[in-house]
Amino acid sequence: MRISVIGCGYLGAVHAACMAKLGHEVVGIDVDEQKIANLSEATAPFYEPGLEDLLRDVQETGRLKFTTDISAAAGSSVHFICVGTPQKKGENGADLRFVDASAEALAPYLAPGDLVVGKSTVPVGTAARLAEFVKDVQPDAHLVWNPEFLREGHAVSDTLQPDRFVYGVEGGSEDDPAVSVLDEVYAVPLSNGTPRLITDHPTAELVKTAANSFLATKISFINAMAEVCEAAGADISSLADAIGLDDRIGRKFLNAGIGFGGGCLPKDIRAFMARAGELGADQALTFLREVDAINMRRRNRVVELTRDLCDGSLLGKRITVLGAAFKPESDDVRDSPALNIAAQLQLQGAVVTVNDPKALVNAAKRFPELHYESNLEIALNGADILLLLTEWQQYRDLDPYVTGASVTCRRILDGRNTLDPSKWRSAGWLYRGLGRP
């Protein structure tokens, strides 16, 4: 099939490459010339494991091209909208300017029978509005909402082997013409058994926001339990293991620590609350305010704990922060709890050095006042305390004896509860986890 993908950020670049991998002829379109130049040379504009190899493989087949020229969408029968929906400045709602601009730019190139497929995370009601717009410009084209559930760091496999497909079509009917077209697009994963659900437009939009809200709630739940564990002298990791063995609960997303960040969960729960308010259903989501508050409290808690571990004062203390990305296997620092904590510590008078295997360039753009050191050994040298804030494998693999020889003081705060406390303590470290005795 001939497919256009509008927006080549995280979602679009991965989606375009994966659609070409599935055998389709794909054009990726974006207004950012630098991004398009990079992608055309099989260079990903962000770090995502496996993406550059995939881009190279599919570009060699000639099935994937990138351009800034929207007219290249003409001739494709399926057009995916993959642009960002960031939080509005100074407000909680989602900024739909890029979604609207891409629909408008695409309009002149829509042909009868074409399918416009929304993948971006949008407030409920957006699909119905865009469906009207599409009908006005091309009465024989259709709009379907097909939310994306990929995780950064696993984006390629999540796109090629997703847990499920959701097709939101007008009226939610199986007979909608969009269903057979999307079935053809996703023929390979569907034949491998990926389930697909047909819904109406608002349900499909809500599936995505509900899923992210549930994940955020699960993380804040376990972090709230961590607060109680700390007060009661209990261990959150054992508690999570024990409750996670109940399959109704499940162990995934029950890792207590410094909380969630990134370009999705924080802004999605806020946009969801804002949209529910507009719909008169704000009471239904007031708990998400608490989810957000618990999450933000984690960051302050780490600053306070660090102060305690530094004998009551941060002034002049040499703190090495391990990790800047919002999670491992990503160079994304959007709303990164690690970086937020590093910046707070620096503002309170500590001398902070930040290390990260992939995210330092992005981190330096966001917080230029912090000191960054890409060499881990140098970053460890002379530290008064280590803060492990993003659980990259190389930090999990640190040897407490070798590390102990580099630092000034053997103190570590494990913000992700990933190290073995007994191993570090027996090497002479003052070890602190979050929600652990």
Residue numbers annotated as active site: 264
Give the type of residue at 142: H
Q: Which candidate, 115, 108, 54, places its Cα nearest to that of 81?
A: 115
Is 395 one of the binding residues for ligand UGA (CB under 6 A)? no
Is 254 one of the binding residues for ligand UGA (CB under 6 A)? yes
Strands 64-67 and 165-168, bridge-based pairing: unpaired
Shortest approach of ligand UGA to residue 393 CB, angstroms? Answer: 14
Shortest approach of ligand UGA to residue 16 CB, angstroms? Answer: 16
Judge contact between 202 and 188, C-beta under 8 A: no
Contact pick of 8, 110, 127, 264 for ligand UGA (by CB under 6 A): 264
Please state, in angstroms and rounded to a whole number, the distance separating the CA atoms of residues 86 and 138.
28
Contact pick of 28, 93, 257, 323 for ligand UGA (by CB under 6 A): 257
Contact pick of 7, 261, 400, 415 for ligand UGA (by CB under 6 A): 261
Q: Of the two residues 155 and 386, which places its CB atom closer to ligand UGA in the complex? A: 155
Among 31-39, 92-100, 264-272, 339-347, the segment contacting ligand UGA (CB under 6 A)? 264-272
**Residue 187, Cβ density class (10 Å: 0-12 exposed, 13-18 middle, ≥19 buried):** middle
Side-chain half-sphere of 404: how many Cα atoms within 13 Å?
13
DSSP letters, 295-309, are HHHHHHHHHHHHHHH
Shortest approach of ligand UGA to residue 123 CB, angstroms? Answer: 14
Scan residues 300-329 and list those touching ligand UGA (CB under 6 A): 326-327
Please state, in angstroms and as integers, the Cα–Cα distance from residue 188 to each residue in 91, 150, 181, 194, 280, following that order: 41, 17, 13, 9, 41
Q: Of the two residues 76 and 159, which places its CB atom closer to ligand UGA in the complex? A: 159
Among 135-143, 197-205, 256-264, 348-356, the segment contacting ligand UGA (CB under 6 A)? 256-264
Please state, in angstroms and rounded to a whole number, the distance separating the CA atoms of residues 182 and 248.
32
Is 259 one of the binding residues for ligand UGA (CB under 6 A)? yes
| Spatial CB neighbours of 278, under 8 Å, sequence gap ≥ 6 | 123
Please state, in angstroms and rounded to a whole number, the distance separating the CA atoms of residues 52 and 42.
6
Shortest approach of ligand UGA to residue 43 CB, angstroms? Answer: 21
Shortest approach of ligand UGA to residue 198 CB, angstroms? Answer: 20
**Residue 313, Cβ density class (10 Å: 0-12 exposed, 13-18 middle, ≥19 buried):** exposed
Kindly state the DSSP code that residue 23 receives in the 8-state scheme. T
Is 150 one of the binding residues for ligand UGA (CB under 6 A)? yes
Largest CA distance in the chain: 72
Is 253 one of the binding residues for ligand UGA (CB under 6 A)? yes
Contact pick of 265, 288, 324, 386 for ligand UGA (by CB under 6 A): 265
Determine the angle formed by the axes of helices 126-137 and 97-106, rounding to 10 degrees.
Answer: 20
Contact pick of 85, 121, 220, 403 for ligand UGA (by CB under 6 A): 121
Q: Of the two residues 303 and 314, which places its CB atom closer to ligand UGA in the complex? A: 303
Is 166 one of the binding residues for ligand UGA (CB under 6 A)? no
Q: What's the start-to-end Cα distance of the chain, in Å? A: 57
Is 212 one of the binding residues for ligand UGA (CB under 6 A)? yes
x/- site string to ligand UGA, residues 213 to 242, per CB under 6 A? --x---x-----------------------
What's the order of all strands across the beta sheet hosting 115-118? Answer: 64-67, 25-29, 2-6, 78-81, 115-118, 142-145, 165-168, 196-199
Task: Give the count of residues interacting with ligand UGA (CB under 6 A).
Answer: 22
Contact pick of 47, 98, 260, 429 for ligand UGA (by CB under 6 A): 260
Shortest approach of ligand UGA to residue 292 CB, angstroms? Answer: 13
List of residues contacting ligand UGA (CB under 6 A): 121, 148-152, 212, 215, 219, 253-255, 257, 259-262, 264-265, 268, 326-327
